[in-house]
Amino acid sequence: MIRGNILNVFTGDIYPAEIEVAGGRVSCVRSISGNFSDIILPGFIDAHLHIESSMLTPSSFAAAAIPHGTVSTISDPHEIANVMGVDGVRFMIDDAAATPMKFYFTAPSCVPATPFETAGAEITAREIEELLRMDSVVALGEMMNFPGVIAGDDGVMAKIEAARNLNMPVDGHAPLLSGDELCTYIGAGISTDHECVSPEEVLEKRRLGMKIMAREGSSARNLRDLAAAGCDFLVSDDIHPADLLEGYMDRILRRAVDYGIDPVSAVQMVTINPAEHYGLSTGAIAPGWDADFVVVDSLRDFNVKRVYIDGRPVAEEGRYLIRRRGGTRAPPGNLKCLIFQLRGWMSGLRVMRPL
């Protein structure tokens, strides 16, 4: 039983409540009376990230991300896929399973990123379909080949078709695409974009039904420019190890409030909004949802005091409480994978030291 002020992401109100948990899920939420200073939020979701940019394997990434209140990410493993194809994606999925963090993945749609590049692998439409059928895969990853979509390229359309046949969302990536070409791109079934750089671009895409991700990571930072335009999700896209030590979705929330976004809306952008779009079971404090919570001091500073996943405490005052199980072994004989894993371990040690 956990008691405190809860933020209800369905109604946007905050009130004292007790949360009952059974089997890792919320079984009941009751309003109570009492004075509580802390606020219980659903665990944060980063709706668009490339874990590889952190130089960490997913299991090491979890140890650094969870103390900052992030319980889930939707990750496009296209960086590792460009080096080692489907084997790389499977490695990320297997390694992610060694932690309590909820890693969801998208099937990388553009490997190689362009035909002009010397990539280590290619992912075909048939392989995309296999990946989409995996448990933790929730969408087709960012469709960077917008000229291919506009031209109706067979290979590109087959990948989109595979996702649509399975009722799965298709993520977009369409910088400055506008007018009739944007309509064709959206009409193909692409429902998100994280490349907007101006409020006008956000407005045009939202009017046509797209959901907009505002980026505030280590590479692109558009939140200040887009804050007033009305976005749907807050995401990092990329986060470097040194930045991850300083903060993660907690810091993005703090900045969102600094830039004028209503704190309750900001929390919805990292919880219920991505949860509903991608069909996740984490992202709200209500019966049947995963018992993933973040206890913060206020909706201004978002200082994370405690984190629960499946009803179990996993971080307290910046410390990760889970004993690490060492992640997944690289497939035997696969040198590229082993190098990536060793880099992950080494960066992981650096990340863990101050905790």
Our CB check for Zn ion shows the closer of 85 and 217 to be 217
E strands, the chain, in order: 2-7, 14-22, 25-31, 39-42, 44-49, 70-75, 102-107, 137-143, 170-172, 192-193, 211-215, 233-235, 293-296, 304-309, 312-316, 319-320
Residue 308, phi-psi category: left (phi > 0), alpha (psi -120 to 50), beta (remainder): beta
Task: Give residues 15-74 in contact with Zn ion (rule: CB under 5 A).
Answer: none
C-beta of 214: minimal distance to Zn ion in Å?
13
Of residues 6, 17, 45, the one with CA closest to residue 253: 45
Taking the CA atoms of 354, 53, 295 and 103 in sequence, report the sign of the dihedral they define: negative
* Min dist. Cβ of residue 142 to Zn ion (A): 5
How far apart are alpha carbons 85 and 142 in whole angstroms? Answer: 16
Residue 220 token pair:
């692109």
At closest approach, how far in Å is the CB of 252 from Zn ion?
Answer: 15
Q: Which residue is nearest to Zn ion (CB)?
A: 237
Q: Report if residue 127 touches Zn ion, rule: CB under 5 A.
A: no
Q: Which two three-digit tokens encode residue 55?
A: 């130089």
What is the spatial distance between Cα 18 and Cα 248, in angstroms, rounded to a whole number? 27
CB of 277 to Zn ion, least distance (A): 16
Q: Is the peptide bond before 313 cis (omega within 30 degrees of 0)?
A: no
**How many whole angstroms separate alpha carbon 151 and alpha carbon 266?**
37
Q: Which is nearer to Zn ion, 173 or 255 (CB)?
A: 173
Give yes or no for a contact between 21 and 2, defined as CB atoms under 8 angstroms apart: yes
Give the shortest CB-273-to-Zn ion separation in angstroms.
18
User: For residue 211, is it left (φ>0), alpha (ψ between -120 and 50) or beta?
Assistant: beta
Number of residues lying near Zn ion (CB under 5 A):
1
Handedness of CA 229, 170, 94, 218 (dihedral sign): negative
Shortest separation between residue 26's beta carbon and Zn ion, angstroms: 31
Q: Which is nearer to Zn ion, 237 or 250 (CB)?
A: 237
Measured from the CB atom, the residue of 21 and 110 that comes closer to Zn ion is 110
- To Zn ion, the closest distance from the beta carbon of 57 in angstroms equals 19
Does residue number 193 form part of the binding site for Zn ion (CB under 5 A)? no
- Judged by beta carbon, residue 67 or residue 141, the one nearer Zn ion is 141
| Residue ranges in 218-237 that form contacts with Zn ion under rule CB under 5 A | 237
Which has the closest alpha carbon to 82: 59, 39, 52?
52
Q: How far is the CB of 237 from Zn ion (least distance, A)?
A: 5
- CB nearer Zn ion, residue 46 or residue 290: 46
Alpha-carbon separation of residue 340 from 129, 243, 318 (angstroms): 26, 20, 26
> Are 233 and 212 spatial neighbours (Cβ–Cβ below 8 Å)?
yes
Q: Does 79 bind Zn ion (CB under 5 A)?
A: no
Nearer to Zn ion, 237 or 292 (CB): 237
Between residues 48 and 306, which has the closer beta carbon with respect to Zn ion?
48
**Residue 236 or 341 with smaller CB distance to Zn ion:** 236
Closest by CA to 209, choosing from 180, 225, 189, is: 189
CB nearer Zn ion, residue 127 or residue 237: 237
Contact between 292 and Zn ion per CB under 5 A = no
Residue 218 CB, nearest approach to Zn ion (Å): 12
Residue 242 CB coordination number (10 Å)? 12
Per-position x/- string for 235-254, each x denoting binding to Zn ion as judged by CB under 5 A, each - no binding: --x-----------------
Least Cβ distance, residue 333 to Zn ion (angstroms): 30
Which residues in this chain contact Zn ion in the complex, by CB under 5 A?
Answer: 237
